[in-house]
Every structure is written in structure tokens, then in C-alpha cells.
Amino acid sequence: MKRRSALSALALAPVAAAAAACGGEEDDGGGGVDAVSVGVIPIVDVAPIYLGVQQGFFEARDIEVELTAAQGGAAIVPGVAAEEFDFGFSNITSLLLAQSSGLPIQIVANGVASTGVEGEDFGAVMVAADSPIQTAADLAAATVAVNTLNNIGDTTIRESVRLAGGDPSGIGFTEVGFPDMPAQLSVGNVDAAWVVEPFKSIIEAEGGRPVAWNYVDAAPDLTVAAYFATTRLVQERPDLVQRFADAIAESLQYATDNPEAVRDILGTYTDISPEIRAALTLPAFPAAVNRDSVERLAELGEADGIFENPPDVDALLP
């Protein structure tokens, strides 16, 4: 990150070049502003950080934020580890995978959580209107699109199938980017697609329907994703990390208190239509990570054999 001597405009761009990270120049003089780059995903989950920038929560803490969009959290993790980003947003399973592989990362602030309510969550497994698939058990022999293989999507979907009495070993997972899933489902290239908002509402607008609420099935009030940094940054710049975490906490609370502002801000970094923005289901934005749910995701990942080594939840959590 760079230490700047005067306040400057906060970056609020859907896609921007990553700023120089920890290896950048730093002015140790007092009264400066820390310019940080944050890797995010252009989905509803990250609306709070965009709102936080807009509302000046980071500026008030002498932080200038540059937001850079990526396809998924799995792509952001190596960017943070390589210090291309100072902070990143990623789902918990990706972070557990990275930690179990020896990458020096640590969660610094909560990101997004399931609503915990079946039928009213922001993520679900969707099928076309005329699909013969009616329940999660019917996914046992289906081809299911997920945005990243061997990650939070397939591990939680397997749990939904198990809870419905099916055998998940026969599921054929295929990797498809979230924006491409509605079209792939519509033309029949996949039997089902696991999506989060706004793509869930886009599929529903085209006649699709949910058959599994995998986040709800995985754990009560599941913490889905969080903001993280390298352990080096946490150790060497604890004040900056704390200010960033405090700004995120204020942003999460603002998003919770102002759901219409969440819907409005989506129009600044996505191409979601006003109609879909009005219809979509918002996630929960609690201030704290649900440790029990992180441990549950670790258990599911271990059961599915996606970790090289058992993840250390204590080392990952703040």
C-alpha cells in the first residue's frame, strides 16, 4: 500500500488496475492516507464495501480504497498472497483451502452470511421450469454448474443432497462463471446451476425455480465469505488492519439498516436491471464471523477430500 500525504478521491470502479501493495512506497510522515487495493467479486455480497466507500467510512479512517473485480474468491486468494491486493473478499472454503495449503492469510473482517431461511436466501441451486428435478435428492445424478470446482458450492450442495436422502457421489459438477449460468441452464447445457444473487433472480425471471438451499442446509446462519489479508500485513500494519476492519463493520451495519441503498449501489458496479435489483433477495450482513459455521465448512471440506491438510480454523480467524 502507499501512504499519501493528502486526502484524495476514493476509487469506486467496477474494474480497476490493482494498486501496488505492501511493496509500494510508503511515507512514514503523520497525517497521511493509506491507499489500499481490495479484490472483490461483482455480486451483491460486496455491496457493503461499495457503500462504505460512498458513505466515507474509509475516508474517515484515512484509507483510500481501490476496488478491483475478479470472477471469484478463489482467484482473489493468490492475488492477496502475492501482495497484488492488500485485502481481498473470498468465500470461507477458499480461505480454508488456502490456509490448509500453507498460504499465510488471515480473516480480518466479516463479509456476508446466509439469511438462514429456506426459501428466502440469496443463494440456491436452480433448475429450469420444466426440469424433472424436484428436490435436492434428484440432483444425485445431475450435471450441476458451480462457479469454482472443489469449493463452497459443491461441498454445500453435497450436504443438501445427503440431507434429502440422496447420494451425492454421482453429481457431475462443471465450472461455469456466475454470469454465464442463466444461459447455460436455459439452453440445457447443465441440469442445474448453483447461483447467488443477482443470478438467482435472473433465472427466476426466466421461469427457473430453486430445488436446494445449500447455504441453509450447510449450517445455521452460515458465514459465506469474509475479507482477509496476509499474515504479514496483519502483523506489520495492525493499525491499518484495524481501521479497515472497523470501516467494514460500519459498512455492514449501514447495509443492514439500509437495504434500498444496497439495491441502488448494485447499479454502480454491475449491469443488473432495476427490476432485478428490486426483486432479488439480500443476504445477511452481520458484523461478526460465525465461528461454528466456519468449523462446519471445514468439516464438510474434509469429508469431501478437498483439503491437502486439515485447515487450522484458529489460525485463519481473527
Tell me the per-residue pLDDT of 245-275, one tens digit each, with 9 for 90 and over. Answer: 999 999 999 999 999 999 999 999 988 899 9
The 3-state DSSP class for residue 146 equals strand
Q: Could you tell me whether strands 123-127 and 192-196 are parallel, antiparallel, or unpaired per DSSP bridges?
A: antiparallel
Nearest to 155 by CA among 215, 95, 227: 215
pLDDT at 22: 43
CB contact set of 247 (below 8 Å; sequence gap of 6+): 52, 57, 58, 60, 61, 63
Contact in structure between 176 and 185 (CB atoms under 8 Å): no
Task: Give the chain's mean pLDDT.
Answer: 90
Residue 222, Cα to own-chain centre: how many angstroms?
12
Q: What is the pLDDT of residues 174-211, one digit of tens each?
A: 999 888 999 999 999 999 999 999 899 999 999 999 99
Instruction: Give the Cα separation of 245 and 97 in Å (integer).
Output: 22
Element (H, E) at 242: helix 238-257
Burial 144-169 (b: 16+ CB within 10 A, else e): bbbbbebbbbbbbbbbbbbebebebe
Cell, residue 22: 505492501
Cell, residue 233: 500485513
CB contact set of 236 (below 8 Å; sequence gap of 6+): 22
What are the structural domain ranges in the chain?
2-114+221-316, 123-218
- Residue type (1 letter), 89: F
Cell, residue 94: 477458499
Q: What is the pLDDT of residues 126-151, one digit of tens each?
A: 999 999 999 999 999 999 999 989 99
Contact in structure between 255 and 47 (CB atoms under 8 Å): yes
Q: What is the pLDDT of residues 94-112, one digit of tens each?
A: 999 999 999 999 999 999 9
CATH fold for domain 123-218: D-Maltodextrin-Binding Protein; domain 2 (3.40.190)
Residue 128, Cα to own-chain centre: how many angstroms?
25
The 3-state DSSP class for residue 66 equals strand
Contact in structure between 63 and 33 (CB atoms under 8 Å): yes
Instruction: Give the Cα separation of 115 and 240 in Å (integer).
Output: 30
CB contact set of 6 (below 8 Å; sequence gap of 6+): 32, 33
- Split at pLDDT 50, 70, 90, the class of 9 is very low
Q: For the domain bounded by 2-114+221-316, which CATH number is listed? A: 3.40.190.10
Say if 2-114+221-316 and 123-218 have the same CATH topology.
yes
- Split at pLDDT 50, 70, 90, the class of 31 is low
Taking residues 68-84, what's their average pLDDT? 85
